[in-house]
Structure 1
């Protein structure tokens, strides 16, 4: 099997994501995790000369790497600038430089305004200086992909020169993310065959969402290294994502291997998400929150019947678990899967009621969580024992700054319909005051509220289901009723309606 080197450039190219800037301590933490747990082969951690903060970050990383015998795995992007970048690296303690040079005649002519011979001469001087300072040199051919499209004679002229220099690797970036898979293979196949003794890395960008396809073709063409980023971070549409690339290599390319540990990919993904503030799309392959969640009931049913909806991307490979979403598309199978996880068994009749309740909630709320289930079951079983003779048909609740909250409600008692309005110290108090007016007309005294408790499932968010449990004193005894809704006041009104029917 052919080993493919993985160079992670999250801390350099990934940090070029708009709005992202890692602190020195964050960079060190990410570097440690990538090298020691994810087990990538190399890290590109910064660009030389960027800032004092960047220098401090590189120095922290190189000091740690030197103590842990992996300094040769730390790389820094440098420039053709005489002694400047080399001296910066020496001060930062780095030993591997990735020299940025021009890989297309268009860039060379219009940006540097130099001839190929002038450019090659300056590159040779930097490489010689780096070597004299015991710094290993890799070389980037910026805009190489457009160079192969529009000025291939220049690219080969440059490679003829470069492959005779004392460098370790040639780094070929699709800088603007413009390559098609066929071009990627054709260009790299021609280069690898012409220079069989040179190590080539491929650096994909994702502007056309083709980075993974291009990576596959690059491997097929014979490259020996890939540049990837955690969560696909990078300029514009980002770079080829680490997690997806490793999954594709492991599942579809049996003749090659990497050293990357799949089980560590999710943890580094979440760490980088936290440090960068760059949120992972929920549907991002391998690391997105939803990618191992079955939503349709038919899928859960199929999984119960010989795992019919499983593929090779098993969540356990990445330290994750399969989940079954609860919402309006849930069937009994989805709910049963979640109940199994909670150790709960329901009779068929109750299961049908719970299923219907979840579908109703799903029409109003994007998703119901597994943690919501015990609350829903409690609400269903509680409601089943109560015959509804009193119904709160409609209500309007208002709350304004420096004005008393008010409520207008319409209640049906038997065949009669009543409507009243009132103010109160809060929306629920206003609701109760209006309700008391209605019951005064019926000469019925309402129970006294003695306790009011609200709770949401553990880890619940602002849209979580809310259970309100109200204790009432009535005719010398205590009543407890529950209400369940994503709105706290509404859940209290539901609990109150249950009380009205009980009395």
Structure 2
């Protein structure tokens, strides 16, 4: 690598030249909220064991995230076991004492009671976790998703479902949410996060009304979601300033999905408008197109806006990627920004020549800073400079075998690798690899065909019985 005579920032226009005036909360006020163990596990076909959740919680603790959402203790014994392991890990020092643990509950007493009783059964207190008690926010969800539940709670007839106005469901939802929050506080819960699904398609004035009622009932933190990943950045510009202005002394959680590839950018934009708690998942896994990815969210902040999260281990992004790939069975795309297998790989002669002079010519992120490494691949597009650079990197090893790095050796290898790669292209069976990949994804969960096969068997058994 050539030593630059001039400072690098005088030779290029860095993004911070244009983003320096963009305001954010102070870096120490931003709290990273990871929901890999809950929302990430909702990826079709993914199911973490309690032990895997514990191991991931330990890695997230080491990485310096501030909050983790572990899931629904009321849903299954395995979830309760995962919570027990995580709280034991905190007690033993494997997981940081200041790592906030979220447990999810619907807005009903049963979910809250099961979770409180689970905590007490394992010798913990309800105040050892933050309870996220959620409901719905948009009129579509209020009337057509949870409308029948609201009718039942209000003592109304099921036949009235579609005839009653949206205003009825809005007020019934407020009563249901506030009753659940009050019940949790009466059971000894100290911290209650709350929010309504599909917030990004809801009436913002209603969201403010709902949030104000939840605060008055004992809620302590509002979470605003883009549940279906349908936010344009201009939508963020509309909603977030109003929510921040309505509750200026309260933190705001933002939970954005990635259906248009904007999850990370919209999250960063929400922070610009005063939100302080971004929700992410490792590798961006989650429902449909996933959640705002942790890796792009923190690196957009750091590299494009100059906001470095204190205490966060950026060098753990690649190790986290590999561990979540291993546990989820979902591989990250080779060209995924920051953590993809190929993002620090170079083959073409033009690029490799530039990289050998100085990495900044074609690479803006230091691979080691995120736990990766730069590598050269060799094929039909390779050039002599990359081959020479690799040989020089191993010069001592070659010299020990009596091999000298010479221009002739470089040219011989260049002709060899081009020829070998051309031959591989002629016989390559990419289609098999692609088929195996999709077959693997299908095997992660039970398909519709599997369900029908079970139904045919169990249905006959039922008739026979």
2:68 aligned residue (36, 43, 46)? 43
User: Following the alignment from structure 1 to structure 2, what is the Cα–Cα distance between the partners of residues 71 and 304?
Assistant: 44
Contact 1:20–1:277, Cα closer than 8 Å, also in 2: yes
Does residue 365 (structure 1) correspond to residue 417 (structure 2)? The answer is no
Q: 1:316 aligns with which of 346, 368, 387?
A: 368
Residue among 146, 149, 170 paired with 2:201 = 146
Partner of 2:170: 116
Alpha-carbon distance between aligned partners in 1 of 2:314 and 2:143, rounded to the nearest angstrom: 44
CA contact (8 A) 1:89 1:95 kept: no
Deviation (angstroms), 1:290: 0.6
What do residues 48-73 of structure 1 show as CA deviations (whole Å, max 9, x unaligned)? 32212122112211222234363761
Q: How does 1:379-418 map to 2 (within 5 A)?
A: none
Map 1:240-251 to 2 at 5 A. 240-251=292-303
The equivalent of 1:75 in structure 2 is: 102
> TM-score normalised to the size of structure 2?
0.74
8 Å contact from structure 1 (residues 144, 172) kept in 2: yes
Structure 1 residue corresponding to 2:118, chosen from 75, 91, 94:
91
SS in 2 for 1:5: coil
**Inter-CA distance 138–327: structure 2 relative to 1 (3 Å threshold):** same
Q: How many residues align?
A: 363
Q: Does 1:185 align with 2:237?
A: yes
1:76 counterpart SS class: strand
Q: Give the Å deviation of 1:319.
A: 2.3
Tell me what 1:349 maps to: 408
Alignment correspondent of 1:280: 332
Contact 1:4 1:256 in 2 (8 A): no
- SS of match in other structure, 2:244: helix
CA, structure 1 residues 254+245, in 2 after alignment: closer, same or farther (shift >3 Å)?
same
Q: How far does residue 175 in structure 1 lie from its aligned partner after superposition?
A: 0.2
Match of 2:139 in 1: 105
Q: Is the 8 A contact 2:339 2:372 kept in 1?
A: no
Q: How far, CA to CA, are the matches of 2:382 and 2:211 in structure 1?
A: 58
Tell me by how many angstroms 1:349 deviates.
2.2
> For the Cα contact (< 8 Å) 1:7–1:226, is it kept in 2?
yes
Q: State the TM-score, normalizing by the size of structure 1.
A: 0.69
Contact 1:203-1:228 at 8 Å conserved across structures:
yes
Partner of 2:356: 304
1:229 shift after superposition: 0.4
Contact 2:194–2:222 (CA under 8 A) maintained in structure 1? yes
Q: After superposition, give the CA deviation of every residue in 1:215-244 in whole Å (9 maximum; x if it has no partner).
A: 121111110101100111101000111112
Structure-1 separation of matches of 2:200 and 2:308: 24
Deviations 1:326-349 (A, max 9, x none): 111110012112212322443222
Q: Deviations over 1:333-388 (max 9, x none)?
A: 1211221232244322232121011011111336xxxxxxxxxxxxxxxxxxxxxx
Which whole-Å CA distance do the structure 2 matches of 1:25 and 1:291 have between them? 31
More relative contact order in 1 or in 2 (CA 8 Å, sep 6+)? 2
Aligned to 1:63: 88
**Unaligned 5+ runs, structure 2:** 1-25, 151-168, 399-403, 426-465
Counterpart contact for 2:50–2:85, Cα < 8 Å: yes
Matched residue, 2:290? 238
Structure 2 partner of 1:54: 79
Deviations 1:418-451 (A, max 9, x none): xxxxxxxxxxxxxxxxxxxxxxxxxxxxxxxxxx
Report the 3-state secondary structure (helix = DSSP H, G, I; strand = E; otherwise coil) of the residue aligned with 2:118.
helix
| 5+ residue gaps, structure 1 | 367-503
Judge conservation of contact 1:5–1:258 (CA < 8 Å) in 2.
Answer: no
Asked if the contact 2:138–2:199 (Cα under 8 Å) also holds between the matched residues in 1, the reply is yes
* Cα deviation code 1:200-259 (max 9, x no counterpart): 111111111111221121111110101100111101000111112111111122356354
SS of equivalent to 2:418:
helix
Secondary structure of the structure 1 residue equivalent to 2:361: coil
Other-structure match for 1:137: 192
Return the structure number with greater strand share.
1
Q: How many Å separate the matches in 2 of 1:72 and 1:220?
A: 24
CA contact (8 A) 1:330 1:359 kept: yes
Are the aligned partners of 2:112 and 2:184 in contact in 1 as well (CA < 8 Å)? no
In the alignment, what sits opposite 1:428?
none
Contact 2:196 2:224 in 1 (8 A): yes
CA distance in 2, matches of 1:95, 1:12: 15
2:45 and 2:111 mapped to 1: Cα distance? 28
Greater helix proportion = 2
Distance 1:348 1:39, change over 3 A: same
Inter-partner Cα distance in structure 2 for 1:33 and 1:72: 12
Shift in CA distance, 360/256, structure 1 to aligned 2, threshold 3 Å:
closer
